[in-house]
Amino acid sequence: MQQVFERGGTLEISVARAETPESSKIDPIEAAGSADLVWRLKIVSLEEESILVEMPVALGKTMRIEDGVSLVGAITIGQNRWKFKSRKVCDERPTGSRGPCMRLELPDHVERCLRRFVRFEATDLQLPSVGMWPLLDPRTTVAAETANDTAFLAFVASKPIPDAPLVMPSVGPKFQATLVNVGGGGVGLRVESEDSAVLGRHRIFWLEIPLGRDHPVPIVATGKVVHTHLDSSQRTYIGVSFDFTFRLAHQEVVVEQIHRAMRQVQGQKNS
């Protein structure tokens, strides 16, 4: 932990689940009701019994974690990875910080992962599988975003969600990725080696991020690949920035979808 802090590094944090789906025949995200969101948070300070990190933020909105909530996390140094358990202690706003922070219990121990793998083994987190399409004409996203917004607003108002097929922009062939983490302006994704060739030909994609049965309207958005790196297993990790150029109002819907997912996984009632 000290090494990560001294290098100005980050932790990956997610809210721990209380239960594990019992049947391997059921989609674990559907069984759990909601997918898990992993947040990449900058370490602000490290003390003897606690660690201060920046609070999760998505597209300018703070995603608060309640005091006392159990957390799971990961630390990465080079090719080595460790996992740990912690707990949210309190909110703080230290002098000179870029935004609100939260104090976490310093873990009693960290467990070395057998391989550098993005899933938090043995911690019962379910990372969303993201649908990706090369976006051929970004202007065609307006109708798709509008339809998504309409469906989400119907869901929030407890009204029937339209049964019409999902409206799609002009796109190429679909492939799958895994949502590794959520950052301030986008997401980190993992693409398996067999699907990564498309990343050499395209940089703008249409994304569909399902969040489980408790959130029946998926997040959809345009994403621009801003950086990539390859791991030892030839899987490609990509940083994707959301782009709302053609319909800025859609950004508010995406933020609210993420916010509701955060509240739900902490056991809060959606307003």
Whether residue 232 is predicted with pLDDT greater than 90 in this model: the reply is no
Whether residue 116 is predicted with pLDDT greater than 60 in this model: the reply is no
Q: Which long-range contacts (CB under 8 A, 24 or more apart) does 102-107 make?
A: 102/52, 102/53, 102/55, 102/65, 103/50, 103/51, 103/52, 104/13, 104/50, 104/51, 104/52, 104/53, 104/71, 105/49, 105/50, 106/1, 106/46, 106/47, 106/48, 106/49, 106/50, 106/51, 107/1, 107/73
pLDDT at 126: 78
DSSP annotation of 185: S
Write the pLDDT tens digit of every residue in 144-194: 999 999 999 999 999 988 777 788 999 999 999 999 999 889 999 999 999
Write the pLDDT tens digit of every residue in 25-53: 445 445 456 678 999 999 999 888 899 99
In order of 21, 57, 77, 104, the CA distances from 183 in angstroms are 27, 7, 19, 19
129-265: CATH topology is Thrombin, subunit H (2.40.10)
Q: Where are the domains of the chain?
A: 2-112, 129-265
Label residue 210 by pLDDT band (50, 70, 90). Answer: very high
Assign domain 2-112 one CATH number from 3.40.30, 2.60.120, 2.30.110, 3.90.75.
Answer: 2.30.110
114 token code pair: 């057998």
pLDDT at 269: 40
pLDDT at 86: 93
